[in-house]
Chains A and B, each alone.
Chain A
């Protein structure tokens, strides 16, 4: 009796599944959206998703792709294993034509592997680890700038804006590089060291430390002993707060501090450290909203659309980055001969968006490894409790301020 009931129930469920599948297959293009929607990274994962959602809605309002409506199927990449499982589900059950994502580098790394094996295009719009595109996958493309761009920009700022502001030769500045010692910090730190060397700058200390550090007083004493003028830190939130607090307590006042993304951009960090301590601190990150709209055409429309849909201000630049990336990829898919993976790939590889024409500021042109060669980070500074763009000059909304 029990067995029969169960079989009937299973049959019903299966029938329902087929029915749904068949209904959904009519006149729509399904695309996967793989982000951490729950867990520790959920806030910025969701922020990234909003950018994609806005881009798709815009496209659908303009007639979709080849006359068909786009439907996004969400996958929750809550951890690495789940990222793999969800990528598989999107590909084999939901049968998406491409996957968009992912915000987290580790999850992008593993999920894109699944897509590559299944020959499904994978479009990355937020993960910063260089190694993702270093694998030279055939169907993987990334629009956003990487750790290498972050390092490049920070050294560029030392040479082109910090040194002139203090009226000294760049090589007269004593630079210290400190970074958390996971893949992220280590990658940025290594690129910083090599770019600094290329430009003949003086590096007095390079100090990696574990991100879960509870005391940085010794590290700060070392920076003091080395008489560091400029500190480059690549960090998460906790270690950023700790560094500023303990630097202040030890009376360590370098001429300039340049942070890298993560902990430096968040409002909560600024509040935890104190707006007066954070004032004048420089930062390199994705394009943010306090930018000259002439250098980022369309950014005001994006913010307006975001406000209209979500009833709030964007929480970070991640939505913007995903919006711009998604638009580029959707345009390419629309221009492709068919929705076959190789046709999409050919169309994406042919993309050529000039610099200064997107709301991010940068253009798009993919290298042979799938990385956008025109992607750049922006130079930012905390001024009066706001994170404003100060570099490059054409994107700046404010002059660089010296630290008090």
Chain B
């Protein structure tokens, strides 16, 4: 029983990690309708920046979160404006996806060039110490991620519901042409959305880096799971992504213990296929109304 509770705790905390990484992805997915294959590499870039800031400037990784959010926002804006926007009117919408694949490969190789294939471990700065509750333990850093996940989802939800910009973003997601007719500057909305999506990754990077060492391919470790989370939660649904992430975390933790560590991916992706078959819009998907 003790083991089971610890497994559930571990699973929820792992879910928090997946959630914080998936939020930005689901935003870009749901609004720009773009499968961003470079998402993991943005995380990688953020993790290297965190490493630089902590080891070279001696800062606490969490102190780096606000500047990283800004930097990644700018990177996201630049990517959308100068790489993806020119392809917006390409005859085949998939060209944009290929562009993100290319970007992903380019970023991985750039990191290889600059940092080499070795690991760069951000100092733990107390984040990897654990809190104990009787026989159970939780890492401080994981708890922080979990809470930040909730806060980010809540804040983005409010932003989308309550602000003019948020409504314009939702309108664009529902029907691009109609929004344009209503006077929404779609290109600008896309740029802002990609920026916000990337900014979420900036926050995630500052939180993940002290837990997990940076390497050129670190993004690929997370991004596949993030895609499953996004589909499970319903593309574009923020709280869906959060709950989806917790579910995947639980499945990961429990199946690795009760079945086998090398089969947990079979379980997760089996689940993924089942969702695609029986509920293609995901648990909290927008359903038929959306574009």
Contact = CB atoms under 8 A, between A and B. Distances in A.
Interface string A169-186: 000000000000100000
A41 B213 contact: no
Contacts of A221: 3, 6-7, 10, 257
A250 interface: yes
B118 interface: yes
Nearest to A224: B3
Contacts of A222: 256-257, 261
B10 A238 contact: no
A238 to B, nearest CB: 6
A80 interface: no
A214 B137 contact: no
Interface string B1-28: 0010011001000100100000000000
B76 to A, nearest CB: 23
A271 B122 CA distance: 11
B215 interface: yes
Interface stretch (A96-104, A113-121, A204-212, A352-360): A204-212
Contacts of A210: 261-262, 265
A217 B13 CA distance: 11
B226 to A, nearest CB: 11
Nearest to A273: B121
A20 interface: no
B112 interface: yes
Nearest to B14: A215
B178 interface: no
B130 interface: yes
B118 A249 contact: no
Nearest to A216: B261
Contacts of A28: none
Given A215-B252, A250-B137, A237 B220 contact: no
A215 B128 contact: no
Contacts of A271: 121
Contacts of B116: 43
Contacts of A181: 262
Contact of A217 (B121, B128, B225, B253): B253
Interface in A140-171: none
Interface string A369-393: 0000000000000000000000000
A208 B262 contact: yes
A241 B221 CA distance: 15
B254 interface: yes
Given A237-B118, A241-B213, A249 B261 contact: no
Among B7, B10, B14, the one with the most A-chain Cβ atoms within 10 Å of its Cβ is: B10
Contacts of A251: 137
Contacts of B10: 215, 217-218, 221
A218 B137 contact: no
Contact of B254 (A42, A209, A218, A225): A218
B216 interface: yes
Contact of A238 (B14, B130, B215, B262): B215
Given A217-B253, A218-B253, A268-B119, A209 B215 contact: no
B112 A40 contact: yes
Given A39-B112, A217-B253, A249-B130, A266 B118 contact: yes
A124 B261 CA distance: 34
A401 interface: no
B221 A212 contact: yes
B118 A268 contact: yes
A402 to B, nearest CB: 25
A241 B121 CA distance: 9
A138 interface: no
A43 B215 CA distance: 15
A403 interface: no
B117 A219 contact: no
B87 interface: no
A249 B112 contact: no
Interface in A1-56: 39-43
Nearest to B256: A218
Interface in B205-224: 212-213, 215-218, 220-222
B117 A207 contact: no
A245 B257 contact: no
Contacts of A106: none
A271 B55 CA distance: 13
B260 interface: yes
B262 to A, nearest CB: 4
Nearest to A44: B117
B101 interface: no
A308 interface: no
A21 B256 CA distance: 59
Contacts of A41: 117
Interface of B: 3, 6-7, 10, 14, 17, 112, 116-119, 121, 128, 130, 137, 139, 212-213, 215-218, 220-222, 225, 252-254, 256-257, 260-262, 264-265
6 smallest beta-carbon distances between A and B, as pairs: A218-B256, A272-B121, A209-B261, A218-B257, A208-B262, A217-B10
12 contacts: A39-B112, A43-B117, A181-B262, A207-B260, A208-B261, A215-B256, A218-B10, A219-B261, A222-B261, A249-B139, A268-B118, A272-B121
